A and B are shown apart, each in its own frame.
Chain A
Amino acid sequence: MIELRDVHKTLGGRPILKGMSFQVPTGTTYVLMGRSGIGKSVTLKHLVGILKPDRGEVLVDGVNVPSLDSEGLKDLRRKMGYLFQNGALINWLTVAQNVSLPLEEHSRLPRAEIRERVMRTLHLVGMDHAADLFPSKISGGMRLRAGLARAIVTEPRYVLYDEPNAGLDPIIADQIHRLIVEVRDRLGVTGLVVTHSRACAFTVANRIGVIDEGRIAEEGTVPEMRASTSPLVRAFLGGGSD
């Protein structure tokens, strides 16, 4: 389970998180929504130990992430996958090499088995045809799908998705949403998704939290949030364009 308890964080003299608290039970997907620059990605970075809170607790499986030493952080990160906004693929490696990187670094699997696992994961995200292409030769949507393959190839228990549909057309975005659901249902992954997209939230979420003033202002299941009359919730999840 992922849990944040009263997390505070100031960056560049500006308070970003002001008492952020929420829980993501094992095997469920939690969607974080909120205005740009309000601290959604900052929240994700606390979970992998890239940022440390000024105050509060960031718990993964009951372990307080900021208290981990470098070895503890390595162990934690091996249990996690992270999908970055633009995929963050390493540009001098092919798609397959990018996806195989975490396996080559941390597993003792034979090369053939790594290749087989990489191709299986690329097939899952519909990218097996582009395995030998470099990131500069593929589209933004393909980069995201390759990034997702890299995030799940180690079969992590947790996957963090940072704007998994940013800049994608609705068809590709829908494919990504279905993949997130598939990853949760097939692999039992616990997910935390940062997004602005209603379609994404309604498709992938078990619970949705809307951030305001550096903390979760409104929270609930998809039906609860759909029925909410809160102006903040309506602003993010109400009618209008996605």
Chain B
Amino acid sequence: MTPIHAAAEFTHRNLLGAGFTVRLLLRTLGRVHYLPRRMRFTLDQCFAAGVRALPVTLCVATVAGMILALQTGIELRRFGQQSIIGSVTALSMCREMGPFITSVILAATVGSAMAAELGTMNVSDEVTAIEVMSVDPVDYLVLPRVVGLTVMCPLLTIFSNMVGIFGGSLIGASNLGVSTQFYWRSVQESLMTPEHLLPKDVYTGIVKAVIFGLAVSVVSCSAGLRAEGGALGVGLAVQTAVKNSVILIIVLGLITTWFFYYLQIT
């Protein structure tokens, strides 16, 4: 096979995968009315996502907040501006770091598990069996997983934001000489605006988390449903799910930031 043929085949395969994923997203959205019927399984998925991802999300977000405060604080101290460290940490966590960290962890823990579960079901004919029983695999298998992760991602993001800001307060007090009281007042002033019930910096982060949760779940289910060829195929599906999820999180993060802050959509 020549390099040109290999490149063409690679592109063709990826375009087919992307097409399958977009179709799966549209089919899932078109079956939202089945949700009440799948409520129990959806709640199971929510619980599983929370249990799997919460401990590691909290640990990583706390440390990320500490790193953020430390790195930024060192530079701010050179200009005598370390007093605004609470504001910088809060804005960075809520706008970008919270949703990003949470969704990457969800991709690695819950998304990979989804791809493995559906991939194993696919290679062992379970998905075909569901189809042959006249049950739509999209509403039976995909919809609860997509809704579960799309709901849990913003909830976990709120926790990430809180513990990340808390981590920053520890560094502020111990390394930068910013009192805890002063730090939290700075956080409050940067996030709270009297005219808005929910400040823009908070809700844009939550909207991002919803989009990331949707993207990770659909990409992971798509990878699982396209798995073929036994254990090797399931392994590749998991790899594809995590890789594509992280790429999409970064790209969608850029697009939503551009949408909310460059176009000034409020």
Residues in A lying within 8 Å of B, measured CB to CB: 45, 48, 50, 73-74, 77-78, 80, 82, 84-86, 88-91, 101-102, 105-106, 150
Contacts and interface: CB of A to CB of B under 8 A. Distances in A.
Contact of B134 (A78, A84, A88, A91): A78
A149 to B, nearest CB: 13
Contact of B125 (A77, A78, A86, A91): A86
A178 B249 CA distance: 55
B134 A85 contact: no
B128 A105 contact: no
B9 interface: no
8 contacts: A45-B128, A77-B133, A82-B132, A86-B125, A88-B125, A91-B121, A101-B133, A101-B135
B125 A84 contact: yes
B129 A82 contact: yes
A33 to B, nearest CB: 21
Interface in B68-122: 121
B130 interface: yes
B101 to A, nearest CB: 29
Contacts of A88: 124-126, 128-129
Given A50-B132, A101-B133, A102-B134, 8 more contacts: A45-B128, A73-B134, A82-B129, A88-B124, A88-B125, A89-B129, A90-B129, A91-B121
B134 A50 contact: no
Contact of B124 (A82, A86, A102): A86
A77 B126 contact: no
Contacts of B128: 45, 50, 84, 88
Contacts of B131: 50, 77
A75 to B, nearest CB: 8
Contacts of A85: 125
A2 to B, nearest CB: 15
